[in-house]
Amino acid sequence: SEALKLTGIFKGYNLGQPSEIRVLNGVDLTLEPGHVTALVAPSGAGKSTLLHIAGLLDTPDKGTVTLAGQDLTGQTDRVRTRARRERIGFVYQFHHLLPEFTAAENIILPQLANGVSQATARAHAEDLLGRVGLSHRMDHRPAEMSGGEQQRTAFCRALANGPSLLLADEPTGNLDPGTSDTVFDALMTLVRETGMSALIATHNLALAARMDRTLRLEQGRLV
């Protein structure tokens, strides 16, 4: 089944008040496994609102959210949080790595929280870091790594628990163009090799052109 399916999503803020704003006006979106989709939206168009709904961090006013065949509309917070932890990886513009822990430890910790053994978690962290060319940074703390290395580590952490869906919000937004390309290549490698589905919000049209398709958020709908 599809990795993510959004159907007829409506979302507004301050509804019924003078400050009412209608952000999403019937968004339909299907993400197939193994596909990378670019989400392009001018500032204020509702990109964050859409990513939060897709990531089960917020609920729509109307419409359905289905993740790997499971309809999560109207489910309890507990069920939604569990689905989020098991199935979704998040990447942001800033890496949000834990500064007091090494690269490997940042990838090991979320796995331990999911009940994986230390040895298995360590082996998986080594494998992920190796795939993005960071075997030599395993035992370095974020402050000892470059911006690009930190961001590649954050991708590995997002994939630590084997999610089926990756949601990324401007993942290369704070990097210079050369580093941005290297980091994006690493992200694409990880996504392709794991067969996950990814929705990547970006302002970088050159990066968007390298993904499988581009969707634009315009007047509350995807085109």
Q: Which residues bind ligand ADP (CB under 6 A)?
A: 13-14, 21, 23, 41, 43-49, 57, 81, 84-85, 90
Of 159, 187, 192, 32, nearest in space to 89 by CA: 159
What is the smallest separation between the CB atom of 55 and ligand ADP, expressed in angstroms?
Answer: 6
Q: Which is nearer to ligand ADP, 44 or 178 (CB)?
A: 44
What is the smallest separation between the CB atom of 178 and ligand ADP, expressed in angstroms?
Answer: 26
What is the smallest separation between the CB atom of 204 and ligand ADP, expressed in angstroms?
Answer: 15
What are the angstrom distances between the C-alpha of 207 and each of 25, 77, 93, 106, 153? 27, 35, 15, 27, 20
CA distance 125 to 165: 19
Question: Which DSSP helix (H) or strand (E) runs through 222?
Answer: strand 221-222
Residue with token string 């970006």: 202
Q: Which is nearer to ligand ADP, 85 or 122 (CB)?
A: 85
The angle, 0 to 180 degrees and rounded to 10, between the axes of the packed helices 177-194 and 118-131 is 130
CA distance 6 to 89: 17
Q: Which is nearer to ligand ADP, 166 or 186 (CB)?
A: 166
What is the smallest separation between the CB atom of 195 and ligand ADP, expressed in angstroms?
Answer: 20
What is the smallest separation between the CB atom of 46 and ligand ADP, expressed in angstroms?
Answer: 4
**Residues pairing with 167 in the sheet:** 90, 199
